[in-house]
Amino acid sequence: MAQAVQVRGRGDIAAARRVVVKVGSSSISGENAGQIEPLVDALARAFGRGVEVILVSSGAIATGMPHLRLDSRPTDLATQQAAAAVGQNVLIYRYQDSLRRYDIVAGQVLLTAGDLENPTHRSNAERAMERLLSLRILPIVNENDTVATHEIRFGDNDRLAALVSQLVRADVLVLLSDVDALYTKPPSEPGAVRIDNVAVGEQLEGVSFGDSGSGVGTGGAATKVSAARLAADAGTAVLVTATALVEQALEGAPIGTWFEPQPR
């Protein structure tokens, strides 16, 4: 495994050894399915610099919905599982089809919350991920919706991404969404102010967050803050920004909301 890098600011991202990127359902499904190609372009450029990249991708249920002739996200677990079973296959195909332009092979990794709580399963997942990275395979991680239950789900893939960043000891976690950064209130409301930097332990008092509003995902700004704190407290720097800005993010541009990591 390559030597870990302590990333202290956005400018250090381009020199990071290992990066986890998380993308949400609304960014790569439905009418936004075309965003997979520019996302892959950005990941491939980082990959070409020698960065070990892990993609945590939501979107299985949202991608499967049209194939089940569903107009809205199902609320019952069985239909969610059915949609995920169909959608995960289509989603991975779309990623691999795009990655083929760069001669990069994807490896599918499906996890449940129980996998990362069970020491044996966690060790197996870590070993598999390390081997994929050493073989220069791009792991694409998602929750294993077809076997997960309401009681043991991660709840959202922001938390999954934070736990994966801990598992692989990533230098940086990039959380992507539809918004360019976190704001003191939903950015559509008057007086919303962009949050540029969050120091270790900062409480973000007086900040309110709205939902994602897309109707196809489960995360929002509040889940991103919770996940960012989880990763940053474990020593992984976190950048929260928009999917459309992923290339700039991976090159260390001064964008998004930066969560300073706890020193390792």
| H or E stretch at 127 | helix 119-134
To the question of whether residue 157 is assigned a binding role by annotation, the answer is yes
- Alpha carbon distance 208, 79 (integer Å): 32
Name the one residue in this structure whose structure tokens are 């995920």. 84
- Alpha carbon distance 25, 220 (integer Å): 11
What is residue 211's DSSP assignment?
B
Strand partners, 211: 220
To the question of whether residue 178 is assigned a binding role by annotation, the answer is yes
What are the angstrom distances between the C-alpha of 9 and each of 14, 20, 52, 115? 10, 16, 19, 32
**Is 232:261 a contact under the CB 8 Å cutoff?**
yes
β-pairing, 18-23 vs 172-177, is parallel
To the question of whether residue 177 is assigned a binding role by annotation, the answer is yes
To the question of whether residue 58 is assigned a binding role by annotation, the answer is yes
Q: How many CB atoms lie within 10 A of CB 77?
A: 13
- Residue numbering of the annotated binding site: 22, 58, 145, 157, 177-178
- Residue numbering of the annotated binding site for substrate: 58, 145, 157
- Residue numbering of the annotated binding site for ATP: 22, 177-178
